[in-house]
Structure 1
Amino acid sequence: MVGILLFTNAGLAMGQRLAPVLAICFMSRIEQPVLARMPQMYCRYIDDCCLITSTQSEMDECFRILNQKSQYIRFTREAPQDGWLPYLNTKVKLSNGTWTMKWYRKESSKNILINASSAHPATMKRAVIRNMFKTAKKVCTGDDERYELLELASQIESSNGYSV
């Protein structure tokens, strides 16, 4: 492709070293009016936000505020399924004023890890398994959820050739 110059007139180019830092700075300016409203919970990872408010009308207003702050970003929202709302690798449930969290894996996840018989260093294989169990344990707030997800981690471990 000789003689073709591509440029962007808005946003950040993927892979730029400064892109994550600039995205965080950009988002911190957008979220300020919402944080001033003191939501029950607000967390963000780069540009993925999780917001819990006390009423639906407050949620609608926060969503409106976020979407009016910049013409270059549009937020979407998900409705809880069976009371659970996915956020990154977790699911959050708010019931009777109590939050419950558990480890979440997308349905498209194939549960494929480094196979036990692969040529990868043993330390790497141990780290992958250890971190999967650590995530299942630490992310879950309830004993029932923790037990369920440790069982899932054991199944994933076994299906990838590791002895349980």
Structure 2
Amino acid sequence: MTSSARQPSTPVEAILGLGSNIGDLRAQIDCAVAALHATPGLRVTRHSRYYRTAPWGETNQPSFLNICIAVETTLSPRMLLETALRIEREAGRVRRERWGPRIIDIDILFYGDEVIDEPQLHVPHPYIGERAFVLVPLADIAPDRMVGGRTAREAAAAIDRTGIEQLDWEVHL
């Protein structure tokens, strides 16, 4: 287990999941990706396709738009989390209910191969293997990444994809 405050001496690949289901979904996700890329010590390297997805957890809400991105970062895991939370706040996100509607959500799925279990920071993200809206875009950018004993590609192929629709939108980095 690693301390989330330790800043790496060389860049680490982290994988983030982003989602939105309030307002202009694509604009909010693209703005969040741009804000992440503009952060000193962080560079977006890969971007999945866009997926329209059914809500998970609390299902009485609009569909989501979801993506995964890979970044190279010299930010510590805790600093990366603080950056994600700041970008969410600046976009107008207010946390009212767990798994409820949101303008933007940025989750740290992986931070290198580290395992972190601290208050508000659990890496790898504990629900990756249960969520098609994470596994399907994750398989786009990191198909060989291990998730619960299988590759992301294998896990995405095995999960129920009901409610997952790939959108034919151009990806810009």
* Common fold: TM-score over 0.5: no
Structure 1 or 2: larger strand share?
A: 2
Structure 1 or 2: larger helix share?
A: 1
Higher Rg: 1
State the TM-score, normalized to the length of structure 2: 0.34
